[in-house]
Structure 1
Amino acid sequence: AMAASACLWLVFGFSPEEAAGEPGPGPGPWRLEAGPEGISRVWPAWSYVVVETGAGLEVRSAGLRRRLPGWAEALPSETHLVLRGAAAAVAWRREAALGAALQGEPAWSRPLPPEPPWRRPLPLLPGGFATPRPPFFTALPAGVRARRLVLGTEHALALGAAGEVFSWGGGRHGQLGHGQLEAELQPRLVEALAGVPMQAVAAGGWHSASVSGEGQAGLGWAGLGRAGLPWVGRLGTLLAAHGLGGPGCVGVPRAPSAAAGADAAFISIQAFPALLDLPQDLEVSMVSCGSRHTAVVTRGGELYTWGWGKYGQLGHGNNASCDQARRVEHLVAEGLRVEEVVCGPWTTYVRVREH
């Protein structure tokens, strides 16, 4: 049993620390081994995870665990690992990041002011943002004042100083929320959310989400549908959803054929934010998106998940996908309060504490 008031990280889904090659369904939940220093933050990629301990950053993968001294934040991908320190942001190739040491020339580096006044997490940097694949730095337009930025597989979301949401990048699955499937080369205001200040944003593989201010709701666009109807699940008193539909589906919309029958499932896209509800009018405090699943934490410390569940990443004790937001009962039964959730591509990391 956990010591009273102890804090730990639990993991549902595919474990990059254990699997090699083609993964199978991961065990869940399991504890993310913390050691005496504890773990304060995690940054997951598909095949490895970077954690922040009391002794600094540490990269973990199958059969590998080593520290990255001198770095404060990470932005990992399957091709590169971007690290931010006190003096610079540097991108290393994945092979160097997972090798014996960070040796040789990095793929990219950018000096930083000695005392950054913004104090905002990666990928934001002075004057723009970093990405974990080339080009590694992109300037933000002069009129965009972002206080938070998140990167999806093909798109990005910025949270403005007044709670406005900007989106750009690939839009073929409706993940930008502009009501169309076109790409946007520059940040564009999500006009459907104008007048509703947001406090958090999240971007997944082909979907997006945001949580409104004052904990009222989450606004998210994450359309998961069956039988021709977009998923209009239950997700916060004011939660919008858009993006790619179908539990685990990837591709363009296709209608059911006459031979398949009227009940045949097909991919549906929600290209405009749509208002959703959580059961019992619960309030959302944070949201995170995986490649094709979404998780929210309520103000009461409960975790709700939905989407693609092939590797157990939804935490419901099976490998089924789920079209509706569903509470993770294991955490409730164990008397655990959720303080943070971070979705990896096929994994969900949850920081919990005993009530």
Structure 2
Amino acid sequence: MAAPGRWFGFGFNRFGQIVNRREHEADGTVSEPRAVTVPAQSPRQGEVERPASGSARAAAGRGGHRPAQRPPQISPAWSHTAYLTGDGSVYFFGFVGGHPWHQACTSNQGHQGCTDILSSEKYLLMLWQDRVECWDIQNLYTGEAVGDVTWTKKLKEEEERCSALPLIPDGYVTTAPPFYKPLSPQLRARKLALGTEHALLLSFDWTLHSWGSGRHGQLGHGSVEDEAEPRIVEALHGLAMAEVAAGSWHSVSASASGDLYVWGWNESGQLGLPTKSYSEEHQNPSQQKGLIAEGEDTPSPSDARDTVIKFKSEKAAEGDLNTFISIQAFPALLDLPEESEVSRVSCGSRHTAAITRGGKLFTWGWGTYGQLGHGHTDSSDLPQLVEYFVQNHLSVLDVVCGPWNTFVFARQE
């Protein structure tokens, strides 16, 4: 039997979203991994087997083997973290019920069978095999679900192939009204990632689509134009893409062979490409192996390289003329150290995390709150190994980035 695993967190903890140790975390920073725990009444206090994928949970719902207790799921918002336990209880820790450094739990009565959650500052989406519901989080802080559910959608019996949120049969859900948006069945959606203003979709034929705002190049179409409908990312067409993640204004995808591609906004080094603010310290041209695209209209590398645009920000207004935005409008191939193959990816607001097939975690980008997990608050435009898990003989299996923090599921080797 495999050793049990558990969740760890690091990054923004101003309200107790990661660990409820106010006296030690007064500055709101957790710069190296800390074990995430929930109150003692929760089964096994956070120690569980590896989280099942959405497809595995769906298979169990169709009559396959279902474990006696489902693994927990974590969904971080900015000011709190939601944690779904194996018995159907949902814990909130952080800014809860109008107070920081608080915890609350909803009873599992009526929540049994819930397989996934998706949290925002105001709403919590909950997925069952036969429905998806949206609750105002304020109505859940009392320990029981009170009031009427904000929104619900029944799933037909033949649709009970639910993958992980936000994807549901025939469409996807968001944590803002109108909550549900349909998708064309021709897309045959397999995975979906939502950024602040854009969406990325992987189909069952391994094709990547994107749509929404493109003003930071986050759609990967070689421009900063918006797209109202899903459009194939031509630069990656023909490559089997297996993983996808969306930050606020950047995008990351990993191929079935483990190659990593990045595009969009790179102001904080979240693409792992050189930025003006870090160039003197971190400049390493070998990190960017070039841009990929196909067809007669493919620009040359010299034409399609990073477009660096000086912008007026607060710092610029103060006379700091070295503040730049780097826009990578085409997917760029990014090598991790030791040419590691990538198995999972996740994006925060302006930072990125990737797990290798060997169970190691690399992070890069904005690090002001310690969300890179390196024991300090420096940012980095180079992927760096999170040494904590190696030093403690932990194999990393999953990663979920919140806006300003990072949660990692790891198991003893």
TM-score (norm 2): 0.74
> 2:261 aligned with 1:219, yes or no?
yes
State yes or no: 1:66 paired with 2:113. no
Report deviation, 1:310: 0.9
Q: Which of 65, 71, 87 is the equivalent residue of 1:55?
A: 87
1:338 Cα shift?
A: 0.8
**Paired AA for residue 11 in structure 1:** G
Counterpart of 2:32 in structure 1 is: 28
Please state if 1:203 is matched with 2:246: yes
| Counterpart-to-counterpart distance in 1, 2:288 and 2:133 | 38
Say if 2:360 and 2:390, in contact at 8 Å, map to a contact too: yes
Residue correspondence of structure 1 range 147-296 to structure 2 within 5 A: 147-215=190-258, 217-221=259-263, 223=266, 224=269, 225-227=274-276, 253-254=310-311, 264-296=322-354
Moved over 6 A (4+): 228-240
Q: Does 1:349 align with 2:407?
A: yes
Do the aligned residues in 2 keep the contact of 1:9 with 1:31 (CA within 8 Å)?
yes
Aligned-partner residue type, residue 278 of structure 1: L
SS, match of residue 121 in structure 2:
coil
Name the structure 2 match of 1:8. 6
Alpha carbons of structure 1 residues 185 and 320: separation in structure 2 relative to 1, 3 Å: same
Mapped contact 1:10–1:30 kept (Cα < 8 A)? yes
Q: Which residue of 1 aligns with 2:179?
A: 136
**Match of 1:149, as an amino acid?**
L
Aligned partners of 2:129 and 2:139: how far apart in 1? 21
Asked whether the equivalents of residues 257 and 341 of structure 2 are also in contact (C-alpha less than 8 Å), the reply is no
Q: RMSD of the alignment, in Å?
A: 3.2
Uncovered stretches (5+) of structure 2, i.e. residues with no partner: 49-70, 95-101, 293-303
Is residue 2:330 matched to residue 1:330?
no
Secondary structure at 1:186's aligned position in 2? strand
Question: Compared with structure 1, are the counterparts of its residues 229 and 329 closer, same or farther at alpha carbon in structure 2 (3 Å cutoff)?
Answer: closer
CA contact (8 A) 2:124 2:137 kept: yes
Determine the C-alpha separation between the residues in 1 that align with 2:116 and 2:399: 17
Identity %: 41
CA distance, structure 2, for counterparts of residue 305 and residue 72 of structure 1: 28
* Deviation per residue, 1:168-221 (Å, 9 max, x gap): 112111111111112211111111111111011001111111110133x12222
Classify the secondary structure of the residue corresponding to 2:330: coil
Structure number with larger C-alpha Rg: 2
Residue-pair matches, total: 341
Offset of residue 72 of structure 1 = 2.0
How far did 1:23 drift? 6.5
Contact 1:219/1:238, CA 8 A, preserved across alignment? no
Return the offset for 1:290.
0.6
Higher helix share: 2
